[in-house]
Structure 1
Amino acid sequence: MRFFLALLLPLSTFSFALGLTQPLMRFERLYFLEDRPTLIEMVQGLWLEGDAALAAIVGLFSIGFPAVKIILIHVVVLSGARTRSLALLSMVSKWSMLDVMLVALVLFAAKTSGLAAAAILPGLWFYATATLTTALAAALCTRN
């Protein structure tokens, strides 16, 4: 069990960092215009376009809560302070959701002008890997 956690925690942390900073999708418009936004750039773009509430919601649920969840799993594994950290981990786990990030992608795509073709880039795969490995690590923590 501890061996799997020792593999999952660095993998989830590394994948989460890459999922935030690597381009998620490629949007091609009019054959010569191309956008390759990262999740951080999407939140920043929403903020700069005046959608502060939407930027805050997407940032909180797609960046903030998953980051706190990863940190809490590290705390549980390293410190052994199980009761309090596990209760907090359980609460945060309910609010960190991959589907909110996917909704942000759709909203960002809808806001781009022109006809667009989209392709998935590595950032989305890293984010999905981070989501799955973090969920698995959290499940392993609560079983111990």
Structure 2
Amino acid sequence: MKLFLALLLPLSTFSFALGLTQPLMRFEKLYFLEERPSLIELILELWKQGDVALASVVGLFSVGFPAVKIALIHVAAFTGGSSRSLALLSTVGKWSMLDVMLVALVLFAAKTSGLAAATILPGLWFYAGATLTTAAAASICKRI
């Protein structure tokens, strides 16, 4: 189990970083205009458009809490799963949600012009992979 955890931790961290920085979706408008926002760009665009509350919520739940969760899993793995780190991990894990990021994508798509076609790009797959590997690593950490 510890070997599997040792493989999952770098994989989840790397996938999370790629999920934040790589384009999530491609929005095509009028056959020749396209946008390929990453999650970070999406949050910054919401902020620039004056949706500060929405940008803050999406940033907190889609970037902040998952980053803290990954850090806590690293701490729990290195400390042998101390009760304090596992309690914090359990609390933070309840607040890091993939669905908030997906709702933000839908809102972003709705804010663009109505004549847009959307295609999923690797950033979304990396983010989803990070979510799954982080959940698996957290589950293993709690068992050790």
Asked if Structure 1 and Structure 2 have the same fold, meaning a TM-score greater than 0.5 normalized by the shorter chain, the answer is: yes
Query: Structure 2: where are the runs of 5+ without partners?
Result: none
Aligned partner of 1:10 in structure 2 is: 10
RMSD: 0.7
2:33 aligned partner: 33
SS in 2 for 1:129: helix
Equivalent residue for 1:66? 66
Equivalent residues of 1:42, 1:108 under 8 A apart: yes
Which consecutive segments of 4 or more residues in structure 1 shift more than 3 A?
none
CA distance in 2, matches of 1:32, 1:43: 24
Corresponding residue of 1:53: 53
Who is 1:42 aligned against?
Answer: 42
Structure 2 residue 106 is matched with structure 1 residue 106: yes
Distance 2:108 2:126 in 1: 19
- TM-score normalised by structure 1 residue count: 0.98
Q: Say if 2:98 is the partner of 1:86.
A: no
* Residue type of the alignment partner of 1:67: A
Q: Distance in 2 between matches of 1:62 and 1:135?
A: 14
Instruction: Give CA-to-partner distance per residue, 1:107-144, whole Å, 9 cap, x none.
Output: 00001114000100000000000000000000011112
How far apart are residue 97 of structure 1 and its match?
0.5
C-alpha distance in 2 between matches for 1:69 and 1:86:
10
Cα separation, 1, equivalents of 2:55 and 2:25: 18
Equivalent position SS for 2:37: coil
Quick one: percent identity of the two aligned structures? Answer: 78
Letter in 2 for 1:80: G
Which ranges of structure 1 fall in alignment gaps of 5 or more residues?
A: none
Provide the aligned length of Structure 1 versus Structure 2.
Answer: 144
Q: Residue in 2 aligned with 1:124?
A: 124
Question: What secondary structure, in the 3-state scheme, does the structure 2 residue paired with 1:40 have?
Answer: helix
